[in-house]
């Protein structure tokens, strides 16, 4: 039965689709030299979609729409806004990329995957959820391997596809078992059906492991992280930035919703996740230490950050959920800033080896500052968002008496400080070999300047005026199921 709320519930998706269609129709008629403007169109459209949704499509009380397929609530809405924001920033980063910038289809793929993520965040049914995950993944496989004449990129695309296909099959198997146990695919009734049915904790444990494989791949948690470094390094940098932020946040959105809705009574999964979180943080950070390529380092760091965010999930409380949502928000802004700065640098120099960042602060003081803000925020230093996010996650852990996990998190963030500061050492301390840095400036084109400034200001705002942001995260977390 049709109601106007149904349209409001999918307003962001409708706008994304409309934008995609406009892009598809308009772009072929442009001259080759004007095709870069597709980026401005995408950016402007995403920004408009963001504003229109914020103005008109704010949810009221949670409700399910489309026959229980989607949930219209703050949780999904908040994540959708994050995805739109991340996509808007990414479209700016793509514009001056040599291979992506002048190809309309790259922007279209970005919009398609964002559409999938929006659906992931609001799915209330296993079938819908699986479709959404696939809608998200397939454009990302293509984007990762977009540079056909680049071996690393094609390898990245193919590797991502293989990993994605296998883990998604395993996830689907887990879904089918859940359906078999309960006779329903609806998340709302699933939890009750599981709890009311006969005691099958052994089987449910197995199902949880299957689901963890699929979602662990999305959030690049250990031991399902192997794809991440190769894909991040090989994929075009803006795509890698999008993969490491929005795609990971989408994975977390599903993980939180699915586990809290389907298995609230099964005490075993927080302890499984505690082990996963420990491994993810530790292995991510330890492997980040010896990296010499900045994109690879960021890949391992983003694995480690998935681990920190998992601490909030393990805490299994309202505050824990809110802390995860806030953590993801801060992490998206921070990591996009980091990837954007790397992109702006390597576009000019053609390299993303850490040693080539020597003298960056003299070559471009502003880009140096952007790197400073991004890496200090990743390291969890105030006044940047990373600090607040980390403190709140640890607070959620200590609240539930998870001292050991909190201490593991702390030891890990100390390791992380080492390699983040090490990067800044190249940016600020070392000089270019025998060159005068001022003769090698790094000009920023307008899209980069806009995106980097907005992201840097955002990272500082998240770290200082964090009240409203956390308020919204909390609202989202309360509306989870």
Partner 1 sequence: MNFPVLSVIVFTPLVAAVLILLIPADRKNEVRTTALVASVFALALSVWVYAQYAINAYTGYQFIEKMTWLSVGNLHIDYHVGVDGMSAPLVLLTGIVMFTGVLISWGKDDPHGPTGIQDRPREFFAFLFLLAGGVFGVFVSLDLFLLFFFYEIAVFPMYLLIAIWGWVKTREYAAMKLTLYLFIGSVVALIGALAMYWTAGQATGTYTFDMLKISEAQQAGAFNGLVNFFGAQVPFQVVWFLPVFLGFAVLGGIWPFHNWSPDGHVAAPTAVSMFHAGVLMKLGAFAALRVGIMLLPDGAKYWAWLIMLFATVAVVYGAYIAFVQTDMKYMIGFSSVSHMGLVMFGLSTLNRDGLTGAGLQMFSHGVMTALFFAVTGMIYDRAHTRQIPELGGMIKPLPWAAVGFIIGGLVSMGMPFFSGFVAEFPIFMGVWQVMPIAAIIASISIVITAAYIMNNIRRVFFGEVPANLEGHISPITALDKVAIATLCLLMVALGLFPWLMAPMIQSGVNSILTLLGGA
The footprint of partner 1 (CB under 8 A) covers 318-319, 322, 361-362, 365, 369, 372, 376, 379, 381-383, 387, 391-392, 394-395, 398-399, 403, 406-407, 410, 413-414, 417-418, 421-422, 424-425, 428-429, 466-467, 470-471, 474
Between 7 and 418, whose beta carbon lies closer to partner 1? 418
Please say whether the beta carbons of 373 and 456 come within 8 A.
yes
**Cβ at position 360, least distance to partner 1 in Å:** 12
**Cβ at position 55, least distance to partner 1 in Å:** 24
Tokens for 63, please give them: 């409700």
Between 332 and 396, whose beta carbon lies closer to partner 1? 396
Beta bridge partners of 125: 186
**Cβ at position 425, least distance to partner 1 in Å:** 6
**Cβ at position 428, least distance to partner 1 in Å:** 5
Q: Biggest alpha carbon distance in the chain? A: 74
Between 150 and 437, whose beta carbon lies closer to partner 1? 437
The dihedral over CA atoms of 154, 160, 162, 167, expressed in degrees to the nearest 10, equals 180
Between 331 and 394, whose beta carbon lies closer to partner 1? 394
Rounded to whole angstroms, the Cα distance separating 335 from 245 reads 7
Rounded to whole angstroms, the Cα distance separating 471 from 309 reads 18
Between 445 and 464, whose beta carbon lies closer to partner 1? 464
**Cβ at position 467, least distance to partner 1 in Å:** 5
The dihedral over CA atoms of 236, 241, 242, 246, expressed in degrees to the nearest 10, equals 160
**Cβ at position 318, least distance to partner 1 in Å:** 6
**Cβ at position 472, least distance to partner 1 in Å:** 10
Inter-CA distances, 89 with 218, 239, 339, 389, Å: 21, 11, 11, 21
Tokens for 136, please give them: 């998200």
Between 195 and 395, whose beta carbon lies closer to partner 1? 395
CA 56 to chain CA centroid, Å, is 25
Rounded to whole angstroms, the Cα distance separating 325 from 315 reads 13
Rounded to whole angstroms, the Cα distance separating 399 from 206 reads 29
Between 161 and 379, whose beta carbon lies closer to partner 1? 379
**Short-list 326, 369, 347, 368, CA closest to 477:** 326
Please say whether the beta carbons of 186 and 125 come within 8 A.
yes
Beta bridge partners of 396: none
Between 107 and 394, whose beta carbon lies closer to partner 1? 394
**Cβ at position 24, least distance to partner 1 in Å:** 43
Helix/strand/coil for 353: strand
**Cβ at position 261, least distance to partner 1 in Å:** 20
Between 107 and 426, whose beta carbon lies closer to partner 1? 426
Inter-CA distances, 367 with 335, 372, 443, Å: 15, 9, 9
Please say whether the beta carbons of 157 and 142 come within 8 A.
yes
Please say whether the beta carbons of 180 and 134 come within 8 A.
no
């Amino acid at each position: 039965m049709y109601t106007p709320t149904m349209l409001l519930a999918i307003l962001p998706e409708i706008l994304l689709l409309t934008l995609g269609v406009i892009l598809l129709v308009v772009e072929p008629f442009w001259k080759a030299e004007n095709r870069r403007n597709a980026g401005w169109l995408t950016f402007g459209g995403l920004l408009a979609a963001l504003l229109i949704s914020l103005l008109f499509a704010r949810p009221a009380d949670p409700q399910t729409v489309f026959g229980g397929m989607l949930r219209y609530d703050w949780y999904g809405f908040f994540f959708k806004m994050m995805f739109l924001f991340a996509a808007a920033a990414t479209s700016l980063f793509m514009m001056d990329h040599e291979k992506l910038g002048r190809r309309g289809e790259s922007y279209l793929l970005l919009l398609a995957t964002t559409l999938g993520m929006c659906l992931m965040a609001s799915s209330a049914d296993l079938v819908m959820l699986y479709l959404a995950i696939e809608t998200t993944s397939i454009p990302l496989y293509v984007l990762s391997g977009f540079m056909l004449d680049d071996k690393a990129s094609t390898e990245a695309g193919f590797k991502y596809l293989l990993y994605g296909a296998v883990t998604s099959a395993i996830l689907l198997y887990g879904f089918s078992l859940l359906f078999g146990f309960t006779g329903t695919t609806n998340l709302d009734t699933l939890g009750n059906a599981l709890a009311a049915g006969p005691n099958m904790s052994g089987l449910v444990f197995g199902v949880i492991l299957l689901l963890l494989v699929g979602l662990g791949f999305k959030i690049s948690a250990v031991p399902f992280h192997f794809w991440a470094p190769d894909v991040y390094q090989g994929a075009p940098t803006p795509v890698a930035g999008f993969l490491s932020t929005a795609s990971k946040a989408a994975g977390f959105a599903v993980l939180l919703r699915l586990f809290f809705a389907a298995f609230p009574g099964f005490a075993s999964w927080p302890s499984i996740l505690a082990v996963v979180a420990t491994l993810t943080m530790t292995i991510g950070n330890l492997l980040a230490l010896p990296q010499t390529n900045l994109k690879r380092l960021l890949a391992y760091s983003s694995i480690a950050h998935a681990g920190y965010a998992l601490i909030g999930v393990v805490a299994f409380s309202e505050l824990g959920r809110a802390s995860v949502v806030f953590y993801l928000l801060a992490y998206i802004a921070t990591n996009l800033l980091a990837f954007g700065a790397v992109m702006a640098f390597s576009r000019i120099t053609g390299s993303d080896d850490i040693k080539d960042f020597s003298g960056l602060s003299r070559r471009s003081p502003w880009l140096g500052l952007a790197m400073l803000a991004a890496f200090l925020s990743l390291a969890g230093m105030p006044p940047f968002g990373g600090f607040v996010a980390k403190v709140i996650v640890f607070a959620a852990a200590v609240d539930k008496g998870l001292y050991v996990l909190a201490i593991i998190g702390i030891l890990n963030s100390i390791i992380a400080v080492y390699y983040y500061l090490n990067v800044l050492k190249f940016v600020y301390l070392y000089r270019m070999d025998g060159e005068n840095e001022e003769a090698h400036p790094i000009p920023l084109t307008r899209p980069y300047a806009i995106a980097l400034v907005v992201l840097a200001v955002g990272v500082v705002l998240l770290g200082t005026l964090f009240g409203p942001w956390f308020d919204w995260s909390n609202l989202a977390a309360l509306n989870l199921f």
